[in-house]
Chain A
Amino acid sequence: MSKTRKKAQSYLTRRTAFDYIDMVVLSLFGVMILLPVLQVVAKAFSGEGPVIAGLVTFWPIGFQTDTIGYVVKKGEFLKAFQTSVIATVAGTTLSMFLTVTSAYPLSKPTLVGRKFILYVFVFIMLFHAGMVPNYLLFRSLGLTNTIWALIFSGAFSVFNMFIVKNYFEALPESVEEAARIDGASNIRTLVSVILPMSMPVVATVTLYYAVGFWNNYMAGVLYITKADLKPLQQYLYDLVRQALDTTDAAGNIKDIDSTMNLTGESVRAATIVVSTVPILIVYPFLQKYFVKGMTIGSVKG
Chain B
Amino acid sequence: MANTKKVSAGRKKLLYVRKNYDLYLLLVPTLVFIAIFNLVPLWGLQIAFRDYKLMAGGTPWRSIWASKWVGLNIISKVFGKSEFTRALRNTLVISAMKIVFTFPLPIVFAIFLNEVRSNGFQKGLQLIVYLPHFLSWVVVSGLFVSLLNSMGPVNKLITSLGGAKIRFLMDNSWFRTILIVSEAWKEIGWSSIIYFAAIAGLDMECYEAAIVDGASRFQKMWYITLPGLLPTVVLMLIIRMGNIMDAGFSQIFAMYNPTVYESADIIGTYVYRLGLGKLDFSTGTAVGVFNSIIGLVLVLLSNVFAKRATGKSIW
Give the interface of A toward B (CB within 8 A).
4-5, 7-8, 11-13, 15-16, 18-19, 22-23, 25-27, 29-30, 32-37, 39-40, 43, 54, 57-58, 97-99, 101-102, 104-106, 108, 110-112, 117, 120-122, 124-137, 139-141, 152-153, 155-156, 162, 185-187, 190, 211, 214-218, 221-222, 233, 236-237, 239-240, 243-247, 253, 255-257, 260-261, 265, 268-269, 272, 275-276, 279, 283-284, 287, 290-291, 294-295, 298, 300-301
Contact = CB atoms under 8 A, between A and B. Distances in A.
A284 B134 CA distance: 12
- Summarize B's interface: helix, strand, loop or mixed: helix
A299 B26 CA distance: 24
Interface stretch (B74-82, B85-93, B120-128): B120-128
Contacts, number: 306
A237 B38 contact: no
B271 A43 contact: no
Most buried by A among B27, B29, B129, B284: B27
Contacts of B40: 137
Contact of A244 (B33, B45, B145): B145
A99 B139 CA distance: 28
B284 A132 contact: yes
A215 B124 CA distance: 25
A30 B125 contact: yes
A252 B64 CA distance: 36
Given A102-B27, A102-B30, A132-B285, A218 B250 contact: yes
Interface of B: 13, 16-17, 20, 22-27, 29-31, 33-34, 37-45, 47, 59-64, 109, 112-113, 115-118, 121, 125-132, 134-139, 141-147, 149-153, 156, 167, 169-170, 185, 189-190, 193-194, 197, 208, 211-212, 217, 250, 253-259, 268, 271-272, 275-276, 281, 284-285, 288-289, 291-292, 295-296, 299-300, 312-313, 315
Contact of A246 (B29, B156, B170, B272): B170
B121 A101 contact: no
A35 B44 CA distance: 46
Which 5 pairs across A and B sit closest by C-beta, in order of nearness? A54-B151, A133-B44, A130-B288, A129-B41, A215-B136
Given A4-B212, A136-B60, A253-B258, A260 B149 contact: yes
A32 B147 CA distance: 12
Given A39-B143, A104-B26, A237-B254, A131 B275 contact: yes
Contacts of B128: 30, 33-34
Nearest to A53: B151
Contacts of A39: 143, 146-147, 152-153
Nearest to A120: B34
Contact of A217 (B144, B254, B257): B254
29 contacts: A8-B212, A19-B115, A19-B116, A22-B115, A30-B128, A33-B189, A36-B147, A37-B131, A39-B147, A129-B41, A132-B44, A133-B43, A136-B63, A140-B60, A155-B37, A186-B20, A215-B136, A217-B250, A218-B253, A222-B276, A240-B145, A240-B254, A244-B169, A272-B139, A272-B142, A279-B135, A294-B193, A294-B197, A300-B313
